[in-house]
């Protein structure tokens, strides 16, 4: 197919990321050839509409709607179309033909990664997907290679730029959720359907990939507990700020001691992060991955989690790696899933909580609430009451209070059952919010 010093590269997709990858492959051809050890010849770019406007100037002759000849005639196939099909079928075809593949497709890796990795193993090829998690930030390779000799204990990660942008502006400006979401869409951070961002489907896919790498275990997407940010309101933001926290959408991947058995918990939900924690300083649409490893200690990887040119950097790094393997020969490095740790049900997760209740301000209420928590095995760490209705003591019948309870660590299932009992109690008018507290040094 090629001589030793020339590799054929096919690109599938020339949208936000693909058009930048193509432009950089063409502009920096000499430099990339020197780094890869071979000329990287872009032989063609498959798109849906060759005449559609592009973000970069690309030679019209490279654009085609016929992907198959490109896939079958190339050493490296870069997939930047997105979605499951036809991306999955095309990458399987490329791998079966012996090509190395590079993709930024988190949906595909999170749902069909094992199938692609097996196809690669059968022919000794490799699957590269640095861009699939946190855009430009190098995190796949650090987890797979740099930390391969360590034991990752926990990952706390901001992996969705849209939701971080929304929560950051709600926190810093008191902005309204709907207004900020509209801005995120206008600025191009949000997916075409923002549900993928705000309901945390995008972050859950990235969490599944991070946990698979960190714990050497195949983590199916449906094993990831997922909660989005649509229930977060201005009152919760203010309460978090007053208590010294900021609300972030976090991907949490951690080892658990589950009644003596080692398991892992993988979940995505809004969480209170103390303002002193490095993740609290991640502003705007940026991403960050905070890794706690047994020997290395705390590490943080920070930067642009999206954007065409930024993400193209990660894709090109993978292309150079794939090219080096072709030049050196030998089989590609496969995925390490040998630990195969059990994935704990969400109810087994252990963390701290902040529960905000609206209660009647009358004698015995606190004692009743404390009793319900004690019965549920949930230990109170802090409690703060603010009178919100009536006048303090003057009109007891109509007086209401906000009661914010911080708990010690508790199991999710115990906390959930306790909150249900609180909600049903005469002492509690309403359960206003239940937020998990993460990154507090557990």
Contacts with ligand HSE, residue ranges (CB under 6 A): 135, 160-162, 189-191, 197, 202, 305-306
Query: CB of 191: closest distance to ligand NDP in angstroms?
Result: 8
Q: Which residues are catalytic?
A: 206
Q: Which does 182 bind (CB under 5 to 8 A by kind): ligand NDP, ligand HSE, none?
A: none
**Spatial contact of 282 and 304, defined as CB atoms under 8 Å apart:** no
Query: CB of 25: closest distance to ligand NDP in angstroms?
Result: 15
Query: CB of 58: closest distance to ligand HSE in angstroms?
Result: 22
Residue 27: CB atoms within 10 A of its CB come to: 11
The nearer residue to ligand HSE, 82 or 439, going by C-beta atoms, is 82
Site residues for ligand NDP, window 134-153 (CB under 6 A)? 135
Distance CA 380, CA 151 (A): 32
Q: Which does 162 bind (CB under 5 to 8 A by kind): ligand NDP, ligand HSE, none?
A: ligand HSE
Query: CB of 187: closest distance to ligand HSE in angstroms?
Result: 10
- Give the one residue of 29, 41, 43, 86 binding ligand NDP; rule: CB under 6 A: 86
The nearer residue to ligand HSE, 74 or 205, going by C-beta atoms, is 205
307 binds ligand NDP (CB under 6 A): yes
Distance CA 222, CA 195 (A): 17
Size of the chain in residues = 442
The nearer residue to ligand NDP, 313 or 407, going by C-beta atoms, is 313
Reduce the secondary structure of 283-337 to three states and give it as a string. CCCEEEEEEEECCCEEEEEEEECCCHHHHHHHHHHHHHHHHHHHHHCCCCCCCCC
**Spatial contact of 355 and 239, defined as CB atoms under 8 Å apart:** no
332 binds ligand NDP (CB under 6 A): no
For 350-414, the DSSP string reads: EEEEEEEEEEE-STTHHHHHHHHHHHTT--EEEEEEEEEES-TTTTTTT-EEEEEEEE-SEEHHH
Q: Which does 355 bind (CB under 5 to 8 A by kind): ligand NDP, ligand HSE, none?
A: none
Query: CB of 205: closest distance to ligand HSE in angstroms?
Result: 9
Longest dimension (CA), the chain: 90
Phi and psi, residue 382, nearest 5°: -140, 155
Query: Which residues of the chain form contacts with ligand NDP (CB under 6 A)?
Result: 13-18, 46-49, 52, 67, 80-82, 86, 104-106, 131, 135, 306-307, 311
């Amino acid at each position: 197919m090629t001589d030793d010093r020339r590799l054929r590269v096919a690109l599938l997709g020339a949208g936000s990321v693909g058009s930048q990858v193509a432009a950089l492959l063409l502009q920096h051809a000499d430099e990339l050839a020197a780094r890869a050890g071979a000329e990287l010849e872009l032989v063609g770019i498959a798109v849906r509409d060759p005449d559609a406007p592009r973000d970069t100037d690309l030679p019209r002759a490279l654009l085609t709607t016929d992907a198959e000849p490109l896939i079958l005639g190339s050493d490296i196939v870069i997939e930047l179309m997105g979605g499951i099909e036809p991306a999955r079928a095309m990458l399987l075809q490329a791998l079966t033909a012996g090509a190395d593949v590079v993709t930024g497709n988190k949906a595909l890796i999170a749902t069909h990664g094992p199938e692609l990795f097996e196809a690669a193993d059968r022919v000794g090829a490799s699957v590269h997907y640095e861009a699939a998690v946190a855009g430009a930030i190098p995190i796949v390779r650090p987890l797979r290679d740099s930390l391969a000799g360590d034991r990752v204990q926990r990952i706390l990660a901001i992996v969705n730029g849209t939701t971080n942008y929304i929560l950051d502006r709600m926190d810093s400006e008191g902005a309204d959720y709907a207004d900020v979401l509209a801005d995120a869409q206008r600025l191009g951070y949000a997916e075409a359907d923002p549900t993928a961002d705000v309901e945390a489907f995008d972050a859950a896919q990235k969490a599944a990939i991070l946990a698979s790498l960190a714990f050497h275990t195949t983590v199916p997407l449906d094993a990831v507990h997922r909660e989005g940010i649509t229930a977060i309101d201005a009152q919760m933001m203010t309460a978090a700020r007053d208590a010294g926290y900021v609300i972030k959408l976090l991907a949490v991947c951690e080892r658990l001691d589950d009644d003596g058995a080692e398991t892992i918990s993988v979940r995505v939900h809004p969480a209170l992060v103390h303002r002193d924690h490095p993740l609290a300083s991640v502003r705007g649409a940026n991403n960050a991955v905070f890794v706690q490893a047994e020997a290395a200690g705390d590490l943080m990887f920070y930067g642009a989690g999206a954007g065409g040119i930024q993400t193209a950097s990660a894709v090109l790094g993978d292309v150079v790696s794939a090219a080096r393997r072709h030049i050196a020969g030998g089989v590609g490095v496969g995925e390490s899933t040998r630990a195969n740790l059990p994935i704990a049900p969400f109810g087994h997760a252990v963390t701290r909580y902040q529960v905000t209740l609206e209660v009647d301000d009358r004698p015995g209420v606190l004692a009743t609430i404390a009793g319900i928590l004690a019965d549920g095995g949930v230990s109170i760490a802090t409690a703060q009451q603010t009178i919100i209705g009536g006048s303090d003591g003057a009109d007891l019948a109509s007086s209401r209070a906000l009661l914010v309870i911080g708990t010690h660590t508790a199991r999710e299932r115990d906390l959930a059952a306790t909150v249900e009992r609180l909600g049903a109690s005469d002492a509690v008018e309403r359960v206003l919010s239940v937020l998990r507290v993460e990154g507090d040094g557990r």
